[in-house]
Structure formats: C-alpha cells, structure tokens
Chains A and B, each alone.
Chain A
C-alpha cells in the first residue's frame, strides 16, 4: 500500500503510522460522562469506506486525514489534517 502525501508525494506505507478513526469529535466540556466515554473508548469497526488519521512520521511529520476502504485498501482521498501545514490548511 502506498499513500500520496499532499506535501511529499507518493510514499511507501512504512513511512506512515496509523492512528485510527478520524470521525469522533471531542465532546463539549459539559457533555457528560457518557459522551466522553463514547469519544474515548467506543469505535465502529467499519468494513468499507472510513475516514482515518495517519501520521507521516518517516517523512514530513504531518498528520493526514485519509479516506480508505478497509476491505480493498483503496484510498480515495488524502488531505492534511487540521493544523498540519499552516499554509495549506485554512483552519
């Protein structure tokens, strides 16, 4: 599997580290214990297209948000995660 880093270009999988599901959003401070438990511990085990965080630690050290099909490993989108590459990400 190869990933096309938006900063470096196409690189081998060994340069990247997998973090996991990019969907969970940190709940508000007053959201309650259940919401925090959900956010910290509960994950869907998706068989199909999912949004994931990957880290290009063996390259430009940027966090990436990748849309990958877990059944075929087909990658349909790669974008810098919020905070990676100050100029490229508006956020």
Chain B
C-alpha cells in the first residue's frame, strides 16, 4: 500500500501576499485569511430538525440557528447555511467531526468541510464599500447587524457570509467562507474591489 503524507496548505498560499496593497496611506480595508479551523456541516435528516436543535443545545450549548444567523459560543460559531442545516466553525479539534458525530448520530448527517473552504475576514472603514461591489445583500447595520448571516453568491461564487462580533475599534467584521478551489479567484476579485481604499493583507490562526 502506498503511504501518503498529507501536507495541509491554505488554498490561498500562493495568492495571499501579506503586507500593503493598492492605494497608499492608511489602509481602508483589512483582508485576513483565517487558517487551520474545524468546519463541520450539520444537515438534519428529514423530520429530525427538532432533534438536531436539542442535540446542538446539549453538545454546543446553544440552539442551532433556524434562520440566516450566526450564533457565537465561547468556543464555536454556528452559522446557518440553509433550511435545517448549519456549519460549526471552531478551532483546536474540540468540535471536529469525530467529536461531533456522536452527538448528532441519530438526527443529522455530518460532513467535514475543514479543508474544503477558505475563510476570509474583511474589516476596516471601507469593508462594506468593498463588499457592496461583490454582493447584492444589503450590509447596512440596520439590515445586517452583528450575527446576521446569508447563503449567497459573490462574483458568481457561492459563499457563506456572516457578520461577526465587531472588532476592538468598533468596526464591523464580515466573514466569508468560500469553496477552496474558488478561493483564489474570489480573493483576486476582492483585492481588485479593495485596491482603491488601500488594503492591509494578512493571515492568521486566530478568529
């Protein structure tokens, strides 16, 4: 049998060049790729939505979102991704597939998406202006407050978009999960969109 040695690499490893980009001066936008996370898709089996909600509450401490919302716990985010389904985003393996599968064994189908998506965090004074060029979703704070989520498309690419807790400076933080093989394409589109405001590019292991 052939022995494989898997090397975990970011889908944006080549495209992402940390540092300033676009217009000079103070960056209006920060684009940060979050690396090394656990991401589990939980889909309720037919007629089992109530059981899934109970199981989520027991295992993760919060009810699973039933509408387009993202719910934050002390060590995970539950992000709505469609009717009777949500994503569990966490770090450090505590809520990885093997840890969660037992809790949802009788009620939901789980699928490990940890290495299937790239996670991009967009913040800064011009974050909403950047996303307005890519998304038809109204991201005004009145329409898209902290904890709002959407399964939508950006530049013809399916994404899961949600607004996380505001940054330390009080500015909105938007998170985008995109399929790994589309990540580079969307990344370049985001850079094009953000260049006029000046961009601070980085990657991080922390949410």
Q: Which residues of A contact B (CB under 8 A)?
A: 7-9, 11-12, 14-15, 57-62, 80, 84-88
Contact = CB atoms under 8 A, between A and B. Distances in A.
B45 A86 contact: yes
B202 to A, nearest CB: 29
A86 B153 contact: no
A66 to B, nearest CB: 16
A87 B49 contact: yes
Contacts of B158: 57-59
Contact of A86 (B68, B81, B83, B150): B83
A59 B151 contact: yes
Interface residues of B, number: 20
Given A58-B158, A61-B151, 13 more contacts: A7-B83, A11-B152, A59-B152, A60-B151, A62-B83, A85-B83, A85-B84, A86-B46, A86-B48, A86-B49, A87-B49, A87-B66, A87-B83
Interface of B: 44-50, 66, 68, 81-84, 136, 150-153, 156, 158
A9 to B, nearest CB: 7
B46 A8 contact: no
A58 B84 contact: no
Contact of A60 (B45, B49, B83): B83
Contact of A58 (B48, B49, B153): B153
A58 B152 contact: yes
Contact of A7 (B46, B82, B153): B82
Contact of B47 (A14, A57, A59, A86): A86
Nearest to A62: B83
A20 B101 CA distance: 38
B83 A88 contact: yes
A85 to B, nearest CB: 3
Given A9-B68, A12-B136, A58-B158, A86 B84 contact: yes
A80 to B, nearest CB: 7
B44 A8 contact: no
A9 B143 CA distance: 12
Nearest to A89: B83
Nearest to A57: B158
A11 B68 CA distance: 13
A75 B38 CA distance: 41
Indicate the member of B50, B68, B151 with the most A CB atoms within 10 Å. Answer: B151
Contacts of B151: 8, 59-61
Contacts of B49: 86-87
B65 to A, nearest CB: 12
B82 A61 contact: yes
18 contacts: A8-B150, A9-B68, A11-B152, A57-B158, A58-B153, A58-B156, A59-B151, A59-B153, A60-B83, A61-B82, A61-B151, A62-B83, A84-B83, A85-B83, A86-B46, A86-B47, A87-B66, A88-B83
